[in-house]
Structure 1
Amino acid sequence: MSSNFSEAAILRRIDHVGAKVEQVDQGLIAVSAQVGQVGQRADETQTELRRLAADFQRFVLDAQRTANVQRAETRVGVVEAQIEHQFGHHNVVRRTATGMLQGFDVGLVSEETVRAVSEQLMVQNPRYWLAPVLVALGAWAADEPELCERAVQEGFRRSPGRTSLFMALVLRRQGRREASVRWLRHYLAAQDPTALGRDFAMILECVSQGAFGPAGVDLVRERLDAWRARLLDDDARQDAQVTRWRAELDRYIAGSSGQRFPFLAGVSPQWPQMDRALSCAAANGALIDTYRALAAETPTPAAQLEDQVDDILDRLVREYDEEELPLRREHAQARAIIRHNGDINAAQRDLATDLTALERTLDYLTIQSESALNPAAIGVSRSTQRMAVSSCHEWFARAHGMFSRDYRAALPTDVHAVFQGNHNAAGVVFQLPRWTGSFTRPVPDLERDLAAHWDRAAAPFIASLGWDWRRQGVGPLIGIVAAALVVMFCLGQGSPLLGVLAGAMIGGGGALFLWSRQRAGAKRQQEAREVLERGKYDSIRQLRAAGAELVDWNTAFRAADGREPEVRAMIADLATIGSPASPYERRVAENGATR
């Protein structure tokens, strides 16, 4: 009885062990699945972390730019307040100057009023060049030549260039042609073409408007031609102007076309060069639109000489004094930061050209270029800009030739597609080896080559996930057989039947364990096979789309680059748009103040 009880107990234990083996097998299968899920979640977590890191970096950059804009706005307010505090009283003198001249025209201002106002402004502005010049105008109106001469000399002492130019314009406005030309000749003789003040831009303004009459225009053009010939002998100065125009062309470069060609941008290491080349080529269209519009304009001259000269005088007296330039430069820097939404680097690139116009002195060639490229900053009109562009067309042509040469030379000789990277397959990371294909080959050939590359790389990886009987099964199989034999031998001593049953149970459980291992391996292989098949399909899809986008990119580039000859022809035509306006030779306003 005890023997049967012990046999029954042993059988129950064997059944219990078999159940445990089955549970362990199911647990291993579940653990394998969970490992795969954990691996998938780990990849998802890494992706999410990268996205969060990118979002955080964008947030930090946006915060920095917002802070930059706020600081710049504050600085603009502070600088404008400083300009108003230190130089705001100059605006009163400037407005008075024009008002005084217009009052002379209509005879509505008494000599006493003119004298009182000018003397008061002289007292309030002890260093400003225009204040004694207004005293001279008042003395001139009152027919007091001695006071007029002393006032003019004081204005000349404070600013020889502006005082001479102002007097030349006023005399021209009042019909004193010979006196106007004498002052103009005096002004030009005192100028150094390598270090001209910002006020010299008004000479170009006068020439473009024909404000000095035939004799004045001939005098100016003769002097400017001599200066130009002298400065053009200096290759370094010529190269500086070509460089300035070359920098201007960079402003016309279009933005990135990465969103237009996302697959090509994603798979080709040559994309940055291609993107830059297309953006540069697109500048041709923008240049044509801008400069054809400039060439097509027909400036409308003022109805009267007085109005034309008043406009030039306004520009002259509004011109920044040298003392203002440091604050004006600081103001321009802050405004550039605001204009570029806090992007310091973009603001600096922009300022590299804008600040040139705020230098204390410039050579004549640079004034020409700045009048053509930055007329608002240097204080000239659209008509003067047209004339300056005409004078600078050779530098424009050289700069554009360099620009076109550079972006064409940067084009890659061959465009490749590259695929590599990690893929989570059944909880195990699969690393696709680098594959490179040239688009000089037909896309179908590249697709077959890429698919074969995937298959070659995936085959050993998938095989490594299965159950290898020779490597993984021999040891456990020997162990199971040995255990079964030991149990059969031990139990067979008392009951052969019991020994056979126990051995069979152990063998069956071991077989079940090995089978479950093989089944789990096969499942992992199938999961990996599906994941990698999707990865292969996605890579081929990207390759096919990149090939199609390359065709579209070539079409877009040829169209943009094909406008380069149009730009060259347009630049050649610009040489003819700069003729100055017809000189005014009508009678000017006559009244009691004209002398």
Structure 2
Amino acid sequence: MSTERIIQVADLSLILGSLRSLQSDIGTVSGQVDMVGSNLAQTRAELSRLEQAFNDFVQADLKAKELGFAETRQVKIRQEIESKFGQYAIVRRQATGILQAADIQLVRQETIRNATEELMLSTPRYWLAPALVALAAWLTDKRQLAERALAEATRRDDEKTSLFFSLIGRRAGRAEVSRIWLDRYFGLQNPYSLDRQTVVMVDALANGVFNTDTALLCTKRISGWIEELSQQAGFAQTQRGQWGDALRSKTPYFNHAQRYTHLSRFSPMWNDLNGALNAASMQSIVLEHFQDIFQGEIKVASSVLIAVDNLLTSLVSHFDDEELPLRRTEQLNQLIIEEAGDKRAAQQRFDLQSKAQEERVDFTQLLTNAAMHPELSHVTRATQRLAVAHSRDWIVDAHSDVTAQIRQQVPQTIHLEIEDWKGQTAQGDNEAELQDSLRQHIEQRKQQALEQAKLGLKDWGLIALGVVLLLMSFGNGIIVFVMGLAALGWAFIGYRQVQQRRKQIERDFAVLQEQSTQALRACLAETVEWRRDWAMRDAVAAEVSSLLESISPEQHLLAGHNTTRRVMPATAAQAA
């Protein structure tokens, strides 16, 4: 009997020791669970930041690769242009050089003739080579050679040759020769389909190169072109759309996320908001563009020789149509480089600017290209002024249309998403309502989480087993009693874990409530700032309209190198 009691006491001590060890292990695990739970909110926030950082990294990597590809392609394209059309550049450099050499008589006529003949042999398809041969023959008084060379030059490109010799005649002071060639040039033109070099004629007119009679001829032709084009059905609407595209081409592509960090993170409409800011920023860029055109004095070249030489350089330096595909690819890659690898933004800019490099356009499109893309049209500021002045009414209408479209596209309601809560605001002034909605949403989520934090079937099973074993222990000894206590103790440990989990849920949701409240408050503050920012950018539209309304065509023809005062004909003013 004493032996049995010793064994039972020994066995009970072993069980109690094991339970204490198990309880200690469970306490350790419970502490670790508490630590994990306390880091849950921080982990959630870090995960969101890591996701954003990863997306930024991917975008930066793509842009870096596109930038590298664009720089590599740019080098290859320029090498291809040089290999295919490098000889053209040599011919272009010779054009004004021959004229200037003839002026100062430092080069023998025989040398000039030999040089032009060599250029003729090296560029068998280029119009300028036989034109220079004709020029050299004219300088050396070789009429038959000049006529044959002229015939070949006009066969290769009649329009450029006619404009070229019109400028040569003006340079030489041969007014009648200049007028005949210019009249021939005009006779070849179709105002619905003009070549890009027509801008040189407009440049000459704007800079006062032509004498009074020739200038009147040009203005009458221009007025006639505009009048003819205006007879088309839907002409005014076409001009509004054409100038609307030109104005939109000045839209910047900038990501304002660094300024609006919370809206860019918590608003699914951020792309629309960012686009609306950029669209409104177009107004200040357009204003600065037109101010640069019309502010300041334009100095006329000191002599007609310098003025014509500048125009000749512009005419011959324009790349020819066969070079156009490579030049367009070069331009696209240059835009990618300027946009730091953002191919989408570069393509949008290229699409809006590509009309400036079309082979043939109508006269009004030519004016648009000259006014808005001088770097592509190669025009002077005087020509820009003339082009804008002739197109003023169309620009005013187009600007009104574009401004109205920009304002219509501004989001009236800004949607917000914080965690899985969704709300919206118009002006950022409904903070109390949104905070209440957010608080209710988080409270609902907390209650759902608390409802899930309860004893499971296993725990209730242990409780039932413990009760049964305790009841059975009255007739079956202390071992059954201890087993019942162990089952109830295990269930009690489960209960404590549930209570610890519920407390952790309370803490986590308290942190979530605080972080979400701060995020919402920041979003609303940025909404107010965004509305103010957009309004300031949009307000510049009134300054643009005021500037455009003050422009008139009569003010923008330079007196040039003639002593006679130049006055726009009434027909030209009316057509403009």
TM range (shorter): 0.7 to 0.9
Higher alpha-carbon deviation: 348-357 or 155-164? 348-357
1:383 matches 2:376? no
Provide the rounded CA distance (Å) in 1 between the counterparts of 2:517 and 2:42.
23
Post-superposition CA distance 1:265-310 (Å, at most 9, x none):
3334444433332332232223222321221031111111111011
Instruction: Summarize deviations over 1:145-183 as a string: whole Å, max 9, x none.
Output: 333333322222221111111111111111111221121
**Structure 1 CA distance, aligned partners of 2:118 and 2:417?**
78
Q: 1:217 to 1:141 in 2, by over 3 A?
A: same
Partner SS, residue 209 of structure 2? coil
Q: 78, 103, 106: which is aligned to 1:105?
A: 103
Residues 1:436 and 2:423 aligned together: yes
Counterparts in 2 of 1:577 and 1:268: CA distance versus 1, 3 Å: farther
Task: Name 1:283's counterpart in structure 2.
Answer: 282
- Tell me the secondary structure at the aligned position of residue 183 of structure 2: helix
* Paired letter, 1:121: L
Q: CA deviation at 1:196?
A: 1.5
Residues 70 and 281 of structure 1: is their aligned pair in 2 closer, same or farther, counting only changes over 3 Å? closer
Q: 326-335 or 316-325: which moved more?
A: 326-335
Change (3 A) 1:95 1:586: farther
Check conservation: 1:281, 1:560, Cα contact below 8 A.
yes
Counterpart position of 1:19: 17
Partners of 1:242 and 1:396 within 8 A in 2: yes
Are residues 145 and 76 of structure 1, via their aligned partners in 2, closer, same or farther at CA, if it must alter by over 3 Å?
same
Q: Distance in 2 between matches of 1:90 and 1:575?
A: 40
The answer to whether the 8 Å contact 2:131/2:161 transfers is: yes
**TM value normalised by structure 2:** 0.87
- SS of residue in 2 equivalent to 1:163: helix
Structure 2 counterpart SS, 1:436: strand
Once residues 90 and 454 of structure 2 are traced to their aligned partners in structure 1, the CA distance between those partners, rounded to angstroms, is 92
Change (3 A) 1:411 1:140: closer
> Alignment partner for residue 490 of structure 1, among 456, 476, 479?
476
Amino acid aligned to 1:563: V
Residue type of the alignment partner of 1:556: D
- Once the two structures are superposed, residues 43-100 of structure 1 have per-residue CA deviations (whole angstroms, 9 ceiling, x without a partner) of 9889878877766666565555444444433433333333333332233332222122
What residue ranges of structure 1 are gaps of 5+ in the alignment?
422-433, 492-498, 588-595
Q: Pairwise mapping of residues 246-395 of structure 1 onto structure 2 (< 5 A)?
A: 246-250=244-248, 251-253=250-252, 255-395=254-394
Q: What residue identity is the alignment partner of 2:262?
A: F
Amino acid at match of 2:388: V
The CA distance in 2 between the partners of 1:65 and 1:546, in whole Å, is: 29
Contact 2:134 2:145 in 1 (8 A): yes
1:168·1:183 contact (CA, 8 Å) conserved in 2? Answer: yes
Counterpart of 1:132 in structure 2 is: 130
What residue is the counterpart of 1:570 in the other structure?
547
Asked if 1:450 corresponds to 2:438, the answer is: yes
Confirm or deny: 8 A CA contact 2:423 2:434 kept in the other structure: no
The 5 Å alignment of 1:87-166 reads: 87-166=85-164
User: Counterpart of 2:539 in structure 1: which amino acid?
Assistant: G
Letter in 2 for 1:459: Q
Judged with a 3 Å threshold, the aligned counterparts in structure 2 of structure 1 residues 32 and 57 are, in CA distance, closer, same or farther, namely same
Distance 2:290 2:240 in 1: 17
Letter in 1 for 2:12: I
540, 551, 557: which one aligns with 2:528: 551
**More deviation, 318-327/169-178:** 318-327
Say which SS state the counterpart of residue 203 (structure 2) adopts.
helix
Instruction: Give the one of 161, 175, 178 matched to 2:173.
Output: 175
Aligned counterparts of 2:331 and 2:499: Cα–Cα separation in 1: 70
Whole-angstrom CA distance in 2 between matches of 1:282 and 1:329: 27
Note the aligned Cα RMSD (angstroms): 3.2
Please state how far the C-alpha of 1:25 moved relative to its aligned partner: 3.4
* Secondary structure in structure 2 of the residue aligned to 1:387: helix
- 1:119-157: CA deviation from partner (whole Å, max 9, x where unpaired): 333333333222222232233223333333333222222
Whether the 8 Å contact between 1:467 and 1:522 is mirrored in structure 2 is no
Which moves more between the two structures, 51-60 or 106-115?
A: 51-60
Identity of matched residues, %? 28
Distance 2:78 2:269 in 1: 48
Q: Name the amino acid aligned to 1:331.
A: E
C-alpha contact 2:113 2:137 (8 A) present in aligned 1: yes
Which region of structure 1 is more displaced relative to structure 2, 74-83 or 55-64? 55-64
Q: Give the aligned partner of residue 536 of structure 1.
A: 513
Q: Which moved more, 1:304-313 or 1:534-543?
A: 534-543
Measure how far apart 1:374 and its partner are.
Answer: 1.5
Aligned to 1:480: 466
Greater mean alpha carbon deviation, residues 381-390 or residues 262-271 = 262-271
Q: May I ask how many residue pairs the two structures share in their alignment?
A: 562
| Counterpart code for 1:489 | G
Letter in 1 for 2:518: R
Which AA in structure 1 matches 2:266?
A: V
Q: Distance in 2 between matches of 1:309 and 1:337?
A: 36
Letter in 2 for 1:195: S
Secondary structure of the 2:419 match is strand
Query: Aligned to 2:498, which of 506, 511, 521?
Result: 521
Q: CA shift at 1:208, angstroms?
A: 0.7
Q: Secondary structure at the match of 1:341?
A: coil
What is the Cα deviation at residue 315 of structure 1? 0.9
- Give the AA of the match of 1:483: L
Bigger Rg, structure 1 or 2? 1
The question of whether the paired residues in 1 share the 8 Å contact of 2:171 and 2:305 is answered with yes
Task: Answer yes or no: is the 8 Å Cα contact 1:211–1:305 preserved in 2.
Answer: yes
Inter-partner Cα distance in structure 2 for 1:113 and 1:180: 27
Summarize the Cα distance change of 1:49–1:508 in structure 2 as closer, same or farther, 3 Å threshold: closer
1:113 and 1:460 mapped to 2: Cα distance? 97
Query: Secondary structure of the equivalent of 1:259?
Result: coil
2 CA distance for matches of 1:56 and 1:436? 27
CA distance in structure 2 between the partners assigned to 1:572 and 1:97 by the alignment: 42
**Could you tell me which residue of structure 1 aligns to residue 191 of structure 2?**
193
Once the 2 structures are TM-superposed, how far is the Cα of residue 503 of structure 1 from its aligned partner? 6.8
Using the TM superposition, give the Cα deviation of residue 529 of structure 1 relative to its aligned residue in structure 2, in angstroms.
0.6
- Kindly indicate whether the alpha-carbon contact (under 8 Å) linking 1:295 and 1:577 is maintained by their aligned counterparts in 2: no
CA distance in 2, matches of 1:342, 1:319: 28
1:203 to 201, 204, 207: 201
Alpha-carbon displacement from aligned partner over 1:225-252 (angstroms, at most 9, x marks no partner)? 1111212233566555433433333333
User: Deviation per CA, 1:401-451, whole angstroms, max 9, x where unpaired?
Assistant: 222222221233333444334xxxxxxxxxxxx453546764234323422
Alignment partner of 2:401: what SS? helix
Counterparts in 2 of 1:287 and 1:352: CA distance versus 1, 3 Å? same
Deviations 1:519-553 (A, max 9, x none): 22222211111111110111111222222222222
Residue in 2 that maps onto 1:428: none
Q: Distance in 2 between matches of 1:456 and 1:326?
A: 63
Q: Is the 8 A contact 2:166 2:177 kept in 1?
A: yes
CA distance change for structure 1 residues 333 and 455 in 2, over 3 Å: closer, same or farther?
closer
Deviations 1:479-499 (A, max 9, x none): 2232123233023xxxxxxx5
Shift, 1:320, TM fit:
1.6
Q: Give the CA deviation at 1:18.
A: 2.8
Write the distance in 2 (CA, Å) between the matches of 1:123 and 1:480: 111
Secondary structure of the residue aligned to 1:484 is helix
Q: Which region of structure 1 is more displaced relative to structure 2, 322-331 or 24-33?
A: 24-33
Equivalent residue, structure 1, for 2:569: none
Of residues 549-558 and 471-480 in structure 1, the stretch that sits farther from structure 2 once superposed is 471-480
Secondary structure of 1:121 counterpart: helix
Q: Aligned equivalents of 1:162 and 1:413: distance in 2?
A: 54
Q: 406-415 or 55-64, which moves further after superposition?
A: 55-64
